Structure 1
């Protein structure tokens, strides 16, 4: 386990102080292995002969002024050490999903908003958001028969009629809309989970009506996405799926690094 939160005692802050490199870290998690980098790039992949940091998209990191939940290293009155981004809406196949957008903002008690977390595998959404997403997703997938749910998922489909591409199952594209007309695009590889030979489930979970955080983007949706957290600039740089570039987090080219700390994950 590694503490990577927004605090002065987290690994990114301590390494930055000890080795005098930028207060940044980058996470690239794969299905079987991945990497974490402390400091800056370059980020080259074996099958992608280019520094991918040149084509990353960015969005501000938002500071939640209230530390929420249990088990976090913080003190009363401190801001949250977690990473929040400003999702402003959700689209499926580029069609906006009707939802209560007040839930996407963080209130004075620290509730609401969108957090990035790797604690558990699947993204959690407040009930009204989740139900709206499932309705819109199902409407855009008319040729796939809805089947009995397989726990912990509630929206499952027969694979008949769902094709496969290098980006995973051919299902509706989910966009998390961000400020400045930026979107975090989620393709089938990150949106669907194969639970049986003939059943795929939408890999999002219902977090309940009283969910403290409205959206928590988690492990499965982060796989083979490169995320750079620039703590000094309070900015998240992200790639969306590396599969779109015909590579994965497991294909990183370490020979391009000379003076940067690197840690392999397995």
Structure 2
């Protein structure tokens, strides 16, 4: 029988599990967690993992649609368990490498002969690097039973990508790379699911506070106070963009990013008129709606932005308009806007999904941004004419919303604001048993 890439992945997974179990006394974890904090300067979402031997804590920026965990290997990477992946290896097959080649300098960590390469991305400076070397090393991550913290577990051979220091430009201070959570075999969700026999699911719950941690949860059964992550969600299909927007379009590979099918937008329950062609994905991968932590705020194509903001202003006619504050164009005096459990008392914005009864409701806590003592602005940015993606749902609109990505079923479960349920993403228990 000929070996396919699926068989290679299965074999690699079994070997990884076996090597994990050797010398381990802790039971197989039910799930894994990463604490996530919001950087006040860059508005990026930061996590920390343990990597290398001896273990070193590494800060990484979350890249929801990223295809790999990439790390700066040029500056201070030292490890006795680092191993490059050689051309033709199982690791290179899993990584769907772009090319193989030799190092142009003396071999070292991140630059080896007969090595295979992929193309990691830094979305914050919109830069791709086509010489990312595929490697393996130890990775450490905390386990959980769903609601209580558990032990840290070590993965002896986690596939990641080495990059030079320049690709870290634009990342938060002290950050050494990005943690890719995209639809790719070497992104964290797929690797962890294969190694530990989890369902191919992960949940993202970003805190709106720069002082408290949110959580990324790998596996099934996440719970927060007053919400059962498996039951209290609405579901919509994840859509595959056939072109690699945000990764490598010229390779004609599917995008690793997460798209959903927004069919319409309502403001205060009233539909706005949108060019429907913008909501679909065309033959070149343009259009549609994606969810991205690569943008701090949602971005709307110009014509969509215009009708949404006009409707919003019309529905909030009693509020006092004030001068724009970049990057926002629609701002109000906060003294003229009331407050509710779910943030400022402003019109709700609904992203209507597969039917008019299935929608993602954005309340004031996720639509209004405080930019001064008495000024708040509508937290959507004008994306201009003919952007690659018509609607990008950015990080601010994700905060204190629970999103569950099921890669096997290709569905997204979402909660809308957890403030309605009197809880937040900062309420996951990281420290003590409940």
TM-score using structure 1 length: 0.91
Partner of 2:343: 168
List alignment gaps of at least 5 residues for structure 2: 1-177
Partner of 2:399: 223
Correspondence 1:1-266 to 2 at 5 A: 1-31=178-208, 32=210, 33-45=213-225, 48=226, 50-69=227-246, 72=247, 76-180=251-355, 181-253=357-429
Partner of 1:260: none
CA contact (8 A) 2:345 2:364 kept: yes
Alpha-carbon distance, 1:42 to partner:
3.3
- Residues 113-170 of structure 1: per-residue CA shift (max 9 Å, x gap): 0000001210000000001100000000011121110011000111232101121100
Higher relative contact order (CA 8 A, sep 6+): 1
- Residues 23-61 of structure 1: per-residue CA shift (max 9 Å, x gap): 01100000232000111113132xx2x524211100000
Q: Distance in 1 between matches of 2:311 and 2:281?
A: 25
- Residues 215-236 of structure 1: per-residue CA shift (max 9 Å, x gap): 0001100000000000000000
Q: Distance in 2 between matches of 1:236 and 1:256?
A: 30
Q: Distance in 1 between matches of 2:375 and 2:409?
A: 43
Runs ≥4 residues deviating over 6 A: none
CA contact (8 A) 1:44 1:256 kept: no
Alpha-carbon distance, 1:73 to partner:
6.3
List alignment gaps of at least 5 residues for structure 1: 258-266
Q: Distance in 1 between matches of 2:431 and 2:221?
A: 12
CA contact (8 A) 1:42 1:256 kept: no
Q: Distance in 2 between matches of 1:74 and 1:230?
A: 24
Alpha-carbon distance, 1:75 to partner:
6.6
SS of 2:386's equivalent in the other structure is coil
CA contact (8 A) 2:189 2:201 kept: yes
CA distance 1:62–1:76, shift in 2 (3 Å): same
CA contact (8 A) 1:74 1:81 kept: no
